[in-house]
Amino acid sequence: MSDPQQLSTQEREQGTQFAPRFDSRGLITAVVVHEETKDVLVVAHMNAEALALTRETGRVHFWSRSRGKLWLKGETSGHYLNLREIRVDCDQDALVIVAEPAGPTCHTGEQSCFYRRINPTADDASALVKVKT
């Protein structure tokens, strides 16, 4: 396998080699979507170890930036995200993780972390409206 850092733009963007690009902090953005509803459940980050563990165990792992540690999603709540598929974008610096959630994904108890939308006609001070997720 060629060194991922040595891939040409065309190889990276249109080839078959999976060569994720971690940023200067060693992280890649991971967008988790629900297998059935396709709702975006959570946006978080993975380091190489979290990505490897996700692929090995079939359960989504992240790197928690706030806690500075590896994070098996659901490790305390039991609300695991069971891996179904990983997609990568053209320049391989973001992942879409298709998953089946074992419970609410958001720590607030909502199914998705994105449970509020902006009301475009309201002031920002009172713009957020809860949506069903």
Q: Which residues bind a second copy (CB under 8 A)?
A: 1-2, 13-19, 29, 31, 33, 37-40, 42-43, 55, 85-91, 94, 96, 106-108, 110, 113-118, 120, 123-129, 131
Q: Quick one: 49 or 131, whose CB is closer to a second copy?
A: 131
Please report which helix (H) or strand (E) contains residue 128, including its range.
Answer: strand 128-130
- Beta pairing, strands 40-46 & 61-64: unpaired
Q: Residue 67 CB, nearest distance to a second copy (Å)?
A: 13
Q: Quick one: 13 or 49, whose CB is closer to a second copy?
A: 13
Q: Residue 24 CB, nearest distance to a second copy (Å)?
A: 11
Residue 128 CA to residue 111 CA, distance in Å, equals: 17
CA separation, residue 30 to residues 40, 92, 110, 128, 130 (Å): 11, 11, 19, 24, 24
